[in-house]
């Protein structure tokens, strides 16, 4: 094979492996434009654009890094690609060079940020070893059980916090790090060339929104079958997409509560390795995110099944709106009350009131307000887009990021004295409450025009 053919094969394979999704390509293009503008403006003593471009570069590297393990498995297990050529060697070479370059870029960036007493060799070796461990774990675990890939970051965090008291950046450890890297990639070589995929392993991060929604619906039906029970009402079960009986609710919430406790135990382990003020922030953010996610999950069920209620009931549009509101807030309250009580008990008896009680209550208030605002925002999207999941999955995260950014800006997620420091920021709750009242009135006025015909997402 000539050099030009080999180069062309590697180049095209590198594009498919590193830039498989459209959003990654757009982010790459945006990063190049911002970096170019930043480099030009830097000569005019305007440096903040270059810093923004650097942040975009790190974000792009992080996203591509998350895509690479899945793309390796997808390309290797694809029968179409297997019929054209043996991709094991080029895929392995591209992955090795990519992680070397990422480690070099991160080490160089850390050197610019901390130029004093910066030892390049041990930091570069440690970074490459850490990235190689995570990437290879993702590949090996994903080749057998794709759903278990989510536990790889937890395992890495446990190792990191277990070893954080050690002198990791000591120059004497450099040879050990490179030896570990060599062993990791040697094991990877042996496994990679011996592994025979039994089926096609799709990279879920590259799937379009419609396919993601289809797979999510399949998973929802499978989970619903596992937690099925005698329904309480026909209308409630139609709206929820599964049984609304007490026994089914108990099974589902018991599973969610178990997951909440497992993750909480993990954070407890991390909290022992951290200062008290930092540990409290971990619990605060986790509680806030969990409450908001629970509200979002309930609304996703309603969003997907609302047209079923319309087709199989004699409710008018106004009746459906009132019924949907009632069911949503009942299910949301039933899902967060057990979790909130468990957290309060753990905070009191295990954590010795690590998180201030005033702040627990205030955080619950903010979470409920944001979740309620997201609910009416989702209903508005349903009204204007005929239940488009694509628009919902774009608009809702953007608005929530803005709201969380406002909380961070106002120092609502951390602070030295929550009961006094954050009392002046209660106006955010008032603004959210006003937006909710106005949004509800607007959505209710538009609701008679709702089209229950669902668009193809």
Q: Exposed e or buried b for every residue in 315-340, given b needs 16+ CB within 10 A?
A: eeeeebbebbbebbbebbeebbeebb
pLDDT per position as a tens digit, 66-115: 888 888 888 888 877 666 667 788 889 899 999 999 888 888 877 776 66
In whole angstroms, what is the distance from residue 11 CA to residue 38 CA? 28
Cα separation, 422 vs 89, whole angstroms: 57
Query: What is the distance of C-alpha 379 from the center of its chain?
Result: 23
What is d(CA 331, CA 359) in angstroms, rounded to the nearest whole number? Answer: 24
How far apart (Å, rounded) are the C-alpha atoms in residues 22 and 30?
12
Please tell me the distance from the alpha carbon of residue 233 to that of residue 413, in angstroms, as a whole number. Answer: 40
Instruction: From first to last of the 457 residues of the chain, give the pLDDT tens digit.
Output: 577 777 777 788 888 888 887 878 888 888 888 888 888 888 888 777 877 777 778 778 888 888 888 888 888 888 776 666 677 888 898 999 999 998 888 888 777 766 666 778 888 888 898 888 888 888 888 888 777 676 676 666 666 656 555 666 677 778 888 999 999 999 999 999 898 888 888 877 676 666 666 666 666 555 555 555 666 777 777 777 776 666 666 777 777 777 788 878 877 776 776 666 667 777 888 888 888 888 888 888 888 888 888 888 888 888 889 989 998 998 888 888 888 888 888 888 887 777 777 778 888 888 899 999 999 999 999 988 877 887 888 888 888 888 887 777 776 765 444 444 555 567 778 888 999 999 999 999 998 888 777 544 4
Measured distance CA(332)–CA(336) in Å, rounded: 6
Tokens of 441: 């009135």
The model's pTM is 0.61
**Tokens matching residue 68:** 């690479």
Q: Are 284 and 413 in contact (CB under 8 A)?
A: yes
- The 8-class DSSP code of residue 171 comes to G
Q: What angle do CA 225, 230, 233 make, to 5 degrees?
A: 110
């Amino acid at each position: 094979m000539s050099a030009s053919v080999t180069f062309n094969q590697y180049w095209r394979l590198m594009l498919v492996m590193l830039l498989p999704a459209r959003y990654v390509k757009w982010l790459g293009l945006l990063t190049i434009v911002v970096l170019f503008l930043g480099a030009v403006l830097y000569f005019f003593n305007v440096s903040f654009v270059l810093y923004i471009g650097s942040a975009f570069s790190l974000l792009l590297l992080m996203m591509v890094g998350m895509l690479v393990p899945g793309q390796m498995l997808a390309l290797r297990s694809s029968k179409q690609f297997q019929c054209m050529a043996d991709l094991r060697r080029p895929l392995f070479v591209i992955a090795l060079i990519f992680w070397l370059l990422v480690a070099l870029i991160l080490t160089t960036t850390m050197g610019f940020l901390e130029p004093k007493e910066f030892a390049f060799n041990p930091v570069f070796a440690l970074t490459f070893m850490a990235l190689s461990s995570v990437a290879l774990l993702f590949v090996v675990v994903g080749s057998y059980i794709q759903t278990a890939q989510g536990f790889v970051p937890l395992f890495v965090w446990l190792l990191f916090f277990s070893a954080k008291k050690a002198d990791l950046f000591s120059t004497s450890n450099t040879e050990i790090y490179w030896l570990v890297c060599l062993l990791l990639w040697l094991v990877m070589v042996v496994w990679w060339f011996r592994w025979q995929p039994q089926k096609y392993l799709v990279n879920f991060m590259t799937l379009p929104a419609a396919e993601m929604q289809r797979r999510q619906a399949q998973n929802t039906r499978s989970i619903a079958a596992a937690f099925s029970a005698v329904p309480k009402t026909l209308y409630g079960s139609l709206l929820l997409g599964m049984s609304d009986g007490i026994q089914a609710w108990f099974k589902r919430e018991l599973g969610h509560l178990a997951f909440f406790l497992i993750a909480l135990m993990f954070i407890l382990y991390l909290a022992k390795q951290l200062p008290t003020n930092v540990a409290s922030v971990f619990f605060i953010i986790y509680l806030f995110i969990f409450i908001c996610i629970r509200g979002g999950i309930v609304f996703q069920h309603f969003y997907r099944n609302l047209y079923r209620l319309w087709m199989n009931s004699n409710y008018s549009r106004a009746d459906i709106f009132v019924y949907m509101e009632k069911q949503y807030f009942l299910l949301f309250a039933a899902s967060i009350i057990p979790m909130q009580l468990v957290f309060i008990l753990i905070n009191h008896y295990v954590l010795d009131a690590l998180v201030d009680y005033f702040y627990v209550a205030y955080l619950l208030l903010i979470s409920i307000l944001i979740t309620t605002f997201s609910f009416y925002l989702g209903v508005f999207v349903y009204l204007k887009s005929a239940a488009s999941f694509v628009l919902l999955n774009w608009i809702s995260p953007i608005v929530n990021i803005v709201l969380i950014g406002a909380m961070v800006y106002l120092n609502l997620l951390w602070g030295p004295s929550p009961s006094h420091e954050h009392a002046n920021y209660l106006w955010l709750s008032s603004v959210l409450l006003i937006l909710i009242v106005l949004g509800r009135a607007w959505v209710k006025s538009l609701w008679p025009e709702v089209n229950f015909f669902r668009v193809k997402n």
